Copies of this chain bind each other. A is one copy, B any other.
Amino acid sequence: MIAETPKAPYYAVIFSSTRTSGDNSYNETASLMEELAKKQKGFLGVESARNEIGITVSYWESLEDIQHWKQQVDHAKARAKGESEWYQQFKVRICKVERDYGFEK
């Protein structure tokens, strides 16, 4: 669902990807990585959707927290497998969320 993030500023990692064919344990690892991300220092939330491309946005308190998550051992292993097996193409964008607003019925 839509992440309940705190008052800006905070940080976002936009991960946009296209997959190779076949599952190759992708979905299992993606779920594990999401659970692991939630346990990291500074994690604020995550949103994810996929059709032709996949977009996963994770939200963090600081750039240091993002760097720490990138270097987490199991995540680093999964990232290596992402390049060798799961992704045809991806782009990672590190962002500062400067302001936000929302609407709810």
What is the total number of copies of this protein in its complex?
2
Please determine whether A102 and B97 come into contact, CB atoms closer than 8 angstroms: no
In the complex, what residue of chain B is closest to A91 when comparing beta carbons?
B102
Within 8 A of B (CB), among A38-81: 47-55, 57, 63
Q: Is B12 touching A47 in the complex (CB atoms < 8 A)?
A: no
Contact A101 B92 (CB under 8 A): yes
Which of B16, B83, B100, B103 is close to A47, meaning CB atoms less than 8 Å apart? Answer: B16
User: Are A16 and B57 touching (Cβ within 8 A)?
Assistant: yes
A24 within 8 A of B: no
A residues whose Cβ falls under 8 Å from a Cβ of B: 1-3, 5, 8, 12, 14, 16-18, 20, 47-55, 57, 63, 83, 87-105
